[in-house]
Copies of this chain bind each other. A is one copy, B any other.
Amino acid sequence: MTYMTETPEYVDEHARFAFDVFAKACTSRTTLEHLTGRWGILAMAALWHGPLRFNALRRRVEGVSEKMLAQTLQALERDGFVHREAQPSIPPRVDYSLTPMGRQTAGKLVDLIEFVESQMPEVTAAQARHDQAKVRV
């Protein structure tokens, strides 16, 4: 008997095109990680409502360290989602905003976030059921 009855594996119709996040070394995976990573998605969503200065963004995205916020914004800027505008004043003033592409992307991210938040009661219920079933040994 073969190991057979193998569930037919899906073949991505877009695989023949240049970018595929399922491919290990594809640059699109890196960009996706910048956008959906722990801090990237929150920074993008925060900027969705309008430009913010570095420390304002830091206060909005609770829990992010200065180091990680700087790193995250640098990656998003390089990818063309975020625009950085620094005024050479003292103290420094740096405004972060979304580019047109960034705004489109952030819209989808905000939509995702709001959907997830709306599903949280069901998620919480599922977690409770899961933990009940496990602990009941």
- Closest Cβ of chain B to A71, distance in Å, is 15
Supposing A7-B50, A10-B52, A22-B61 touch, asked if A108 and B115 sit within 8 A by C-beta, the answer is yes
List of B residues within 8 angstroms of A79 by Cβ: 123, 126-127
Number of this chain's copies in the complex: 2
Min C-beta distance of A53 to chain B, whole Å: 6
Most buried by B among A19, A77, A104: A19
Best-buried of A24, A60, A79, A129 by chain B (most CB within 10 Å): A79
A3 to B49, CA, bound (A): 22
| Cα separation A68 to B28 with both chains bound (whole Å) | 21
Cross-interface CB contact of A32 among B3, B31, B113, cutoff 8 Å = B113
The B-contacting residues of A in range 74-118, CB under 8 angstroms, are 77-80, 91, 95, 101, 104-105, 108-109, 111-117
Question: In the bound complex, do residue A10 and residue B50 qualify as a contact, i.e. CB atoms below 8 Å apart?
Answer: yes
Establish whether residues A49 and B123, one from each chain, have CB atoms under 8 Å apart when the complex forms. Answer: no
Q: Interface on A for B, CB 8 Å cutoff?
A: 3, 6-10, 14, 17-24, 27-28, 31-33, 35-38, 41-42, 45-46, 49-53, 56, 59-63, 77-80, 91, 95, 101, 104-105, 108-109, 111-117, 119-127, 129-131
